[in-house]
Amino acid sequence: MAEVQTETQTFPLGAPLTRSESLDARKAHFGGLLEDLEVRAAEVRRGGGEKYVAREHARGKLTARERIAALIDDETEFMELGLFAGRGMYEDVGGCPAAGAVMGFGRIHSRLCLIVANDATVKAGAWFPITAKKNLRAQEIALENHVPIIYLVDSAGVYLPMQDEIFPDKEHFGRIFRNNARLSSLGIPQIAAIMGSCVAGGAYLPIMSDEALIVDGTGSVFLAGPFLVKAAIGEETDSETLGGAATHSEISGVTDYKMPDDETCLATIRDLVSKLGPQDRAKFDRVDPLEPKYPSDELYGVMPDSRTQPYDMRDILARIVDADSWTEYKAGYGQTLLTGYARIDGWSVGVVASQRQVVRAASQKGHSPEMQVGGVIYSDSADKATRFILNCNQKRIPLLFIQDVTGFMVGTRAEQGGIIKDGAKLVNAVANSVVPKFTIIIGNSFGAGNYALCGKAYDPRLIFAWPSAQIAVMGGSQAAKTLLQIQTSKLKKQGLELSEDDQNAMLKEIEARYEEQMSPYYAAARLWVDEIIDPVTTRDWVSTGIELADHNPEIPRFNPGVIQT
């Protein structure tokens, strides 16, 4: 691993890996994480299962994933977001794999588009609370980046037993139609295909899009289905007469294109996208890309198999950024955060990354030199990162945050040194940053460190986790011991005393529960991260993210607010 040479203040980006038992152990450990990722992903991609896939085929319909595969360009990859949304949730009603919807980026006639497709194999495409959250995330991405969005609609509507959790609030179902209107007003193309059921309030989504297609025989759209019409006004009718393709293409004029089958419908969407007009760009700087100095698959050998082991983040960066593109900012100052300019797939980017090595800091604010713990944000690190973020905003350079952080430094010395003020400056800069931000969580993401390095609450355009990530307010061991102390204190007030064995059993139970909640899969299920990714794909995701952000030419004037010095 690369060593920081503090005496000469030279900081080369990374070093070659040398064969050792520790290297083999790291690779084996990460290989196990990747195998687990693939098993879990394959399980989710089955949707509602073979029985329901066969049912859709028998009806002459393609599944959501088959529709997307037919829609995007041949020889290109669908970059899925939110695959694990809903995982482990709603188990009492059979679960909701991928939140009952497939979402991600695809290229249609080389144009990058956002695609959202209801999965009718999962509860007939019904909307659970997490389904609404996932669709809102898709629209948020489209709104921020001005990228075309395509809806493949096939849904039975709101899952009625949970209507109180999806219907009335600001971030619930109705927000989707508000976003339809906002997208339209901004000139962001929306194309919707009604390829199955589309009922009640959900009927507004395709009809508030710019253009709507409907598949004859399987597509239908109405505010109230035949049973509700019968109950409300006593009229007897059927789905086709009420809201089928012929009704809305030839009588009501609600839809624009009547399609004979799924295949023709998808081919027509491709044709419509091919005729979209030109789009202004932000014109973020890009040159011909270079491969990283070291192979990306060596990332598996850089990440330790234990969270207590230090490593040099420069060894990570050397396998992500373009070769010889790294220019480090304030290399010898605030060394528990790395800041620097680089290129990723040719795109200019500013990097703010945790440093997990133990480093020797120079004296500051009247203190003698000290060893600083890696993964902790100190006052000087926060100060450096704040200044760097201001520079990137001034220069219109997108920001990439890489997190393996346990939080801010605590204790008397840190407090007297002004850690709260310096941390507040950093959070302020991140919150008010106007250039596109992207976040990768590769290890720990604890406490205010999550906030300061652009966690989900700080509007990253995209946020990803490696399978090695953990997200929580604090580390599992510390949290479990704190919770145990609270529990035992409560019992003491009641006159009860736990034996040492009972305390150990309770501690193990709390640790197990907390470990589950720290998992990247727990975070991805709740859309705290957009996707769990293989480390070797990090370059592709960041490059695609910047290309996505480049679609929006409007970057507001940067005003950092009050940052006290």
Residue 254 above 80 pLDDT?
Answer: yes
Q: Is 398 helix (H, G, I), strand (E, B) or coil?
A: coil
Q: What is the mean pLDDT of residues 184-201?
A: 92
- Please state, rounded to an integer, the average pLDDT across all residues of the chain: 91
Residue 1 above 60 pLDDT?
Answer: no
Query: Which residues face 354 on adjacent strands?
Result: 337
Q: What is the mean pLDDT of residues 337-347?
A: 98
Q: Are 91 and 70 in contact (CB under 8 A)?
A: no
Q: What is the mean pLDDT of residues 252-277?
A: 97
pLDDT digits (tens, 9 = 90+) for 3-56: 444 333 456 788 888 878 889 999 999 999 999 999 999 999 999 999 999 999
As a whole number of angstroms, the distance between CA 128 and CA 113 comes to 25
pLDDT number for residue 480: 67
pTM exceeds 0.75 for this model: yes
Q: What is the mean pLDDT of residues 374-379?
A: 89
Q: Is 120 helix (H, G, I), strand (E, B) or coil?
A: coil
Residue 486 above 90 pLDDT?
Answer: no
- The residue among 114, 102, 112 whose CA lies nearest residue 153 is 102
557-560 contacts, C-beta under 8 A, 24 or more apart = 557/434, 558/390, 558/393, 558/394, 558/432, 558/433, 558/434, 558/435, 559/432, 560/390, 560/393, 560/428, 560/429, 560/432
Q: Are 284 and 549 in contact (CB under 8 A)?
A: yes
Query: Which residues face 135 on adjacent strands?
Result: none
- The residue among 137, 112, 185 whose CA lies nearest residue 461 is 137
Q: Are 310 and 348 in contact (CB under 8 A)?
A: no
Residue 370 above 80 pLDDT?
Answer: no
pLDDT number for residue 166: 84
